[in-house]
């Protein structure tokens, strides 16, 4: 017999003592009350987050830390009595990051804030010393080629030097209107001029950085020095354009500006770099998947979704440690409170989202039965803030199910959430797209910004940026949504909007299900 979404008054054996805060519920469903009590008053979010971010640390795809994280997840789920496994879907270049030291030794001594980019070669255990030079004022490829003859044994700074590393909101708050306007115009002109120089030398577009690094390596440069400012507190840490030969190191906005100005003004900067790194060939890579099998409809599924990989400049805290812990803690709550769900509950901690949603795409390809039986997927991936927006992703009739679910969740959690129905499908951005492309009901749980752009992919994305109250809120809300979706007597309809809105002069289209990239070689050659 199907269970009802009406209050389960007879389930006294399931219900824990109701707390004062839980009595605010207008709905007396004891499972929802226990989810609230478990999530808000017995939260494991702090402990899980601290262990993940501080002890395991960043989780670059293919790294030893990522593999350690996969095993940690499996062990955590099994300790709660939840079936879990690491599911291989491909291979990736295994790269071990070691210690990086970058020092200015002339015209004065200063240890610089910086590190290797991901997948960069190291210095083979040596400390490499060399002058720092900046790119020439070349107006064509021939002038650049002539300049290259003088870079042997030198470090080359290839990024635009920011005139200030203060966030723009600082400038807006403290400068005069006239000086701010002049500064912004001058910075924009300087940025454009720098880009035009690169283009004149033959380096522009997506492959420009790789081509430039290869030319510098062939000319015998000691290394590449770069910096990609976040417009706030940190520097973007992406990956090296070159995995052979010379190292690429990234400096903080401030220290990059220092050494660039010294070189530009003929003041003879000399750097010493020691960068330890090791390439270990292609190794298996995994998604971590856990499941509580459904008691009535085991072939229908509710999916908790978050990517587990990160860039490794920081600890991968807001991208996507918080999404990971949201799903991990929600599953812990459900295993405690709701151990016999109506539908099967699956959680996926995806690998290689940062390289194109590869883990979630591979899971969708390898498990068509789960995609076919999907009642709802809930994905979270944008920082530490409270969940504040949900869209039905272009599914025109999903709002009815959401309305039933949300009517039973306390306003403490839902009052600040905005909804968009029917919304538009997302063709990328995060892992819900791996399922919505097939028309499956997958929903993004968008969060408040908390200046996400300042920590995103930077060395500042660390444990201290996590706002624990919001994380507890998100795990509790997600657990409630999963429970209600599991119990819903109706399937979420897959009817999709057939008239798509326009963006500018372009008509939006439903995203296609792009195949997963399952190896490093395919990723580099795509």
Written in H, E and C, the secondary structure of 424-486 is CCCCCCCCCHHHHCCCCCEEEEEECCCCHHHHCCECCCCHHHCCHHHHHHHHHHHHHHHHHHH
Q: What is the pLDDT of residue 17?
A: 38
Backbone angles phi, psi at 25, to 5 degrees: -65, 135
Could you tell me if 116 and 309 are in contact, meaning their C-beta atoms sit under 8 angstroms apart?
no
Q: Are 133 and 255 in contact (CB under 8 A)?
A: no
Q: What is the pLDDT of residue 2?
A: 42
Query: CB 20: neighbour CB atoms within 10 A?
Result: 6
β-bridge mates for residue 251, sequence order: 114
How deeply is 465 buried, as exposed, middle or buried, from its count of CB atoms within 10 A (0-12, 13-18, 19+)? Answer: buried
The residues of the chain scoring below 50 in pLDDT are 1-23
Among candidate residues 151, 138, 131, 266, the one with its CA nearest the CA of residue 213: 151
Whether the CB-CB separation of 402 and 422 falls below 8 Å is answered with no
pLDDT computed for residue 26 by the predictor = 58
Cα pseudo-dihedral 49, 51, 57, 59, rounded to 10? -70
List the beta strands (DSSP E) in 228-269.
248-251
Give strand pairing partners of 345. Answer: 292, 302
Residue 425 CA to residue 181 CA, distance in Å, equals 38
pTM score, two decimals? 0.92
- 447: tokens are 């969060």
Contacts of 258 (CB under 8 A, 6+ apart): 104, 110, 112
Q: Quick one: tokens of 359?
A: 């883990």
pLDDT at 219: 96
* C-alpha span between 497 and 494 (Å, rounded): 10
Instruction: Report the alpha-carbon distance of residue 349 to residue 66 in Å, rounded.
Output: 11
The predicted structure's pLDDT at residue 206: 61
Residue 212's H or E segment, with its range, is helix 208-218
Task: Work out the number of other CB atoms within 10 angstroms of the CB of residue 266.
Answer: 7
Whole-number pLDDT of residue 506: 83
Tokens found for residue 184? 């912004």
120-159 in b/e burial notation, b at 16+ Cβ within 10 A?
Answer: bbbbeeeebbbbbbbbeebeeeeebeebbeebeebbbbbb
In which element (H, E) is residue 316 found?
none
Which residues does residue 275 pair with via DSSP β-bridges, in sequence order?
A: 100
């Amino acid at each position: 017999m199907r269970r009802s979404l009406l209050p389960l008054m007879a389930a006294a054996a399931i219900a824990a003592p109701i707390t004062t805060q839980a009595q605010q519920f207008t709905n007396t469903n004891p499972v929802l009350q226990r989810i609230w009590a478990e999530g808000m008053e017995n939260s494991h979010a702090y402990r899980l987050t601290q262990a993940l971010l501080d002890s395991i640390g960043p989780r670059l795809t293919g790294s030893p830390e990522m593999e350690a994280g996969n095993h940690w997840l499996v062990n955590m789920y099994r300790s709660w009595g939840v079936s879990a496994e690491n599911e291989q879907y491909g291979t990736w270049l295994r790269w071990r990051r070691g210690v990086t030291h970058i020092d200015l030794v002339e015209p004065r001594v200063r240890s610089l804030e910086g590190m290797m980019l991901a997948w960069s070669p190291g210095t083979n255990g040596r400390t490499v010393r060399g002058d720092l030079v900046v790119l020439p004022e070349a107006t064509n490829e021939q002038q650049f080629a002539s300049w290259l003859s003088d870079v042997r044994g030198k470090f080359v700074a290839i990024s635009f030097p920011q005139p200030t590393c203060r966030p723009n909101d600082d400038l807006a708050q403290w400068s005069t209107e006239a000086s701010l306007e002049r500064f912004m115009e001058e910075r924009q002109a300087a940025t454009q001029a720098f880009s035009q120089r690169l283009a004149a030398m033959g380096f522009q577009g997506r492959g420009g950085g790789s081509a430039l690094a290869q030319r510098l390596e062939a000319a015998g440069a000691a290394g590449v020095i770069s910096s990609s400012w976040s417009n706030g507190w940190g520097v973007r840490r992406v990956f090296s354009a070159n995995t052979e030969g010379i190292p690429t190191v990234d400096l903080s906005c401030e220290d990059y500006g220092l050494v660039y100005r010294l070189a530009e003004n003929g003041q003879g900067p000399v750097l010493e770099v020691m960068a330890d790194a090791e390439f270990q060939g292609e190794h298996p890579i995994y998604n971590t998947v856990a499941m509580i099998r459904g008691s009535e409809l085991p072939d229908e599924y509710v999916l908790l979704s978050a990517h587990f990989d990160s860039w490794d400049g920081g600890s991968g805290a807001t991208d996507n440690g918080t999404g990971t812990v949201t799903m991990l803690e929600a599953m812990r709550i459900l295993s405690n409170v709701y151990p016999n769900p109506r539908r099967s509950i699956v959680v996926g901690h995806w690998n290689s989202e940062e390289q194109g949603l590869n883990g979630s795409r591979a899971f969708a390809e390898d498990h068509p039965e789960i995609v076919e039986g999907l009642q709802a997927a809930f994905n979270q991936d944008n920082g530490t803030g409270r969940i504040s927006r949900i869209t039905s992703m272009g599914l025109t009739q999903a709002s009815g199910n959401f309305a039933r679910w949300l009517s039973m969740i306390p306003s403490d959690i839902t009052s600040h959430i905005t909804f968009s129905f029917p919304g538009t499908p997302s063709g990328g951005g995060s892992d819900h797209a791996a399922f919505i492309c097939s028309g499956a009901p997958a929903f993004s749980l968008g969060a408040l910004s908390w200046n996400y752009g300042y920590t995103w992919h930077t060395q500042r994305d660390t444990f201290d940026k996590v706002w624990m109250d919001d994380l507890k809120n998100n795990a509790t809300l997600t657990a409630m949504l999963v429970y209600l979706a599991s119990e819903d007597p109706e399937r979420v309809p897959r009817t999709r909007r057939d008239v798509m809105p326009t963006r500018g002069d372009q008509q939006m289209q439903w995203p296609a299900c792009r195949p997963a990239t399952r190896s490093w070689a395919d990723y580099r050659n795509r």
